[in-house]
Amino acid sequence: MEKALLKNLYYRMVKIRACEESFVEPILNGEIKCPVHLCTGQEATAVGICSALRKDDYVFGNHRSHGHYLAMGGEVKSLVAEIYTKKSGCSKGRGGSMHITAKEQGFVGSVPIVAGTISLALGAALAANVRKEPKVAVSFFGDGATGEGTLYESLNFAALKKLPIIFVCENNLYSTHLPVKEIRPERPIFEIARPFGIATSQVDGNDVLAVFQEANKAVELCRQGKGPFFIECLTYRMRGHVGPNDNIQGDQTDIRPQSEIEEWKKKDPIKRFEKMLLEEKILEEKELEEIKQGIKKEVADAHKLANEDIRPRSETLNKYVFK
Amino acid sequence: MRISVLVQKLLINMSLNKRKLSYGLAINEAMSQLMRKDPSVLLLGQGVKSPWYVGATCKGLAQEFGGDRVIDTPISENAMTGAAVGAAIVGMRSVILYPRMDFMLYAIDSIVNEAANWSYVLGGASSVPIVIWGIINRKGEQGAQHAQALQTMFAHIPGLKVVIPSTPYDAKGLLIAAIQDDNPVVYIDDRWLYGLEGNVPEEIYTVPIGKGVVRREGKDVTIVGTSYMALKAVKAAEILEAEGIDAEVIDLRSLKPIDEDILFASVKKTGRLVIADGTWKSYGAAAEISALVAENIFEYLKTPIKRVTLPDLPAPASRTLEQAYYPGEKEIIAAVKEIVKNNH
């Protein structure tokens, strides 16, 4: 794989991590009030999948979608401003963290109803099919969404019409506060696609190259009219379901054992990739540092801009209900 | 000059309106003309290929436009509606059809959470040009889950427009307007209107969403009708005329946006209001219309407002119970007489 590509994978993951972690302090001190679902620890799934896509493809997200937005090339400053619910936010302060869009980059949008956008991605794939465009639709959803009927309805229809859609389940082992073993029988999630005859696989979601390779395979098949495809990415949510950690309000809502968190810290997707890049002598320590510093500045500037921006004026309350 | 303009208008109307078509075929014509004109129009729903499920509304569409654009779907209302929404978000003009409106309840998430909110929550980055078409399957001993009229629920939701045509002319014109609208439009028709014949121009035309129409002018009382109850209101007015009561009938045609201007102008003139609506009474369309009048032009009312609606009950099966359940011209006439008798 060429250096520029690998560098770009690294760059995008670091960007997502830097953004996510930059929200922790403003959340804790109350500057950010809207619910924020951080994807720290899940960067490799977003970057691995989205790096296989083009800007004219259709990506749909969920409540935890900052990573998908950034991986598709959404602007840091519009995202940060939206999370502060400012006027210059990507959704003009109407959405907050859970409703974001970078349509021109192929990130059509995210909304927080669990499984809510799976069928929207299905429709985008259907549109591509009707128009005979070689486009791919991607739906990102979590393990929690496997409890929703619309997922199975969508799998059925996608298989029936051979639609160019990739169902990406980011299995971070927790459905809000509940471990996955309490919400479904102990069977691998990727197997739910099998009865529909959908090609399906499970990958190490903390290995960006593994995700990227699987995504490329899926994208290519979809573009050839051989969709749909299902990918389960095994990963871990390093922070709470909502906010920096689940004890933010002083209540023990997180039932994760500390030892489990420590184990997963060792599998940090960015550290793993960094180690590989250095060992294989693809990038030097200095280059990694340059990337980090550049991103640090971009994120800091975005917070500064967002802080200087105004919130939408009350007279504009009814704007955007209709086109 | 003025007379010649009138004559000209009359001639145009005569030439446009000479053709008769049934309500069901008027819908069919709107669909086929727009699918022919605009390749982005897409139709999904249960029964779009059926010879009976949706009346004549989808006749010939699958044959002419093929299975890619006319999709008879699996019974998966939630995902199929979501797919119609998703296709619309990326540039199609989707029409999703429910042969029995009751089935729409499985799709509430896609309609309310997704279609209605999408433009707003993303600051207008994309809109949802979708027509959400539900058929009221009233009567025929079908019972509660094949007969509900749920349009008021949708009229409650910001981000949705709701239209309720009662004539073949409006059925075609409002469907075209709905498909051409860049926003979600809930289009509710009634299967007992499908055989109704009326004037329908052959060309593509629109009936504006949010505009009612005066079906009959009068001075004693205003009867506001919705959907098939607008037809019942016209019948009631004809009977009342013989008894010396001059009723004005307004067909709202759209529940949302609602045509306040036409409503207020009529009530200001007559001072009395009867609302004839084929949905449930509590929190329904009739309640909303009453509130609008009471809130805005209370001083014009000479008598209390009367509501003729369904009772707050599930739809029964047995025909004797159906008879008691569905209001018609008799109930409208009784309501009119209650408020006209003392003050006429």
Mean pLDDT within A117-140:
98
User: Per the structure block, which two tokens stand in for B172?
Assistant: 């075609």
Inter-chain residue contact B81 with A119, CB threshold 8 Å:
yes
* Residue A271 domain flag: yes
DSSP string for A146-196: GG-HHHHHHHHHHHHHT--EEEEEEE-SEETTEEGGGTS-SS-GGGGGGGG
A134 vs B259: CA distance, rounded Å:
45
CA distance A53 to chain B (A): 16
Beta strands (DSSP E) in chain A are 58-61, 107-110, 137-142, 165-171, 174-175, 178-179, 199-204, 229-234
Q: How far is CA B90 from CA A67, A107, B86, B124, B130, in A?
A: 22, 11, 7, 13, 11
B64 vs A190: CA distance, rounded Å:
39
Contact of A118 with A154, CB cutoff 8 Å: yes
Please list the alpha-helical segments (H only) found in chain B. Answer: 2-17, 23-37, 61-69, 77-89, 108, 117-121, 151-155, 168-180, 228-242, 260-270, 285-297, 319-325, 329-340
Please give the residue of chain A at the shortest CA–CA distance from B76. A153
For strand B254-256 and strand B93-98, is the pairing parallel, antiparallel, or unpaired?
unpaired
B213-343: what fold? Rossmann fold (3.40.50)
Which of B42, B78, B161 best tests the A interface by mutation, with the highest count of A CBs <10 A?
A: B78
Question: Which residues of chain B does A121 touch, with a Cβ-Cβ cutoff of 8 Å?
Answer: 86
B295 vs B288: CA distance, rounded Å:
10
A312 vs A315: CA distance, rounded Å:
8
Contact of B58 with B48, CB cutoff 8 Å: yes
Contact of A209 with A270, CB cutoff 8 Å: no
* Residue A315 domain flag: no
Q: In which residue ranges of chain B is CATH 3.40.50.970 found?
A: 2-199
State the ipTM, two decimals.
0.96
Question: Which residues of chain B does A123 touch, with a Cβ-Cβ cutoff of 8 Å?
Answer: 82-90, 92, 94
Note if B146 is an active site residue: yes
CA distance B77 to chain A (A): 9
Q: Which of B85, B99, B84, B116 has the alpha carbon at shortest distance from B46?
A: B99
pLDDT in the model for residue A200: 98
pLDDT in the model for residue B344: 54
Question: Facing residues of B42 across strands?
Answer: B94
User: Per the structure block, which two tokens stand in for A21?
Assistant: 């972690």
Mean pLDDT within A93-111:
98
Using an 8 Å CB-CB cutoff, list residues of chain A that contact chain B. Answer: 58, 60, 89-95, 99-101, 103, 108-109, 111, 113, 116-130, 137, 149-150, 153-154, 156-157, 160, 319-323
Inter-chain residue contact A119 with B78, CB threshold 8 Å:
yes
Residue B183 is nearest to which of A100, A113, A323, comparing CB atoms? A323
B87 CB within 8 Å of a chain A CB: yes
Residue B119 is nearest to which of A118, A137, A320, comparing CB atoms? A320
pLDDT in the model for residue B16: 54
Residue B120 is nearest to which of A58, A150, A320, comparing CB atoms? A320
A211 vs A142: CA distance, rounded Å:
16
Inter-chain residue contact B83 with A58, CB threshold 8 Å:
no
User: b vs e for B44-77, b when ≥16 Cβ sit within 10 Å of the residue's Cβ?
Assistant: bbbbbbeeebbbbbbbebbeebeeebbbbbeebb
Helix (H) or strand (E) holding B98: strand B93-98
CATH value at residue A121:
3.40.50.970
Residue B183 is nearest to which of A124, A130, A322, comparing CB atoms? A322
Average pLDDT, chain A: 95
CB-neighbour burial class of residue A245 (10 A; exposed 0-12, middle 13-18, buried 19+):
middle
Which residues in chain B land under pLDDT 70? Answer: 1-17, 342-344
Please give the residue of chain A at the shortest CA–CA distance from B114. A116
CA distance B163 to chain A (A): 16
Residue of B64, B114, B141, B146 with catalytic role: B146
Residue A258 reports pLDDT greater than 90: no
Q: Tell me the helices (H) and strands (E) count for chain B, helix number first.
A: 13, 14
Residue A127 is nearest to which of B91, B114, B125, comparing CB atoms? B91
B81 CB within 8 Å of a chain A CB: yes
User: A110 phi and psi, to 5 degrees?
Assistant: -135, 145
B256 vs B295: CA distance, rounded Å:
18
Mean pLDDT within A19-32:
96
For B344, the 3-state DSSP assignment is coil
Residue where the block lists tokens 């190259």: A209
CA B265 to chain CA centroid, nearest Å:
21
B221 vs B270: CA distance, rounded Å:
5
* Residue A71 domain flag: yes
Contact of B332 with B233, CB cutoff 8 Å: yes
* Residue A309 domain flag: no
Q: How far is CA A71 from CA A10, A99, A106, A145, B190, in A?
A: 11, 16, 10, 22, 48
CA B254 to chain CA centroid, nearest Å:
6
* Residue A250 domain flag: yes
Residues spanned by the domain of A90: 3-302
Beta-carbon contacts of residue B180 (< 8 Å; ≥ 6 apart): B34, B93, B206
A151 vs A142: CA distance, rounded Å:
11
B2-199: what fold? Rossmann fold (3.40.50)
CA distance B40 to chain A (A): 8
Note if B299 is an active site residue: no
Domain count, chain A: 1
Tell me the per-residue pLDDT of A66-96, one tens digit each, with 9 for 90 and over. Answer: 999 999 999 999 999 999 999 999 999 999 9
CA distance A122 to chain B (A): 5
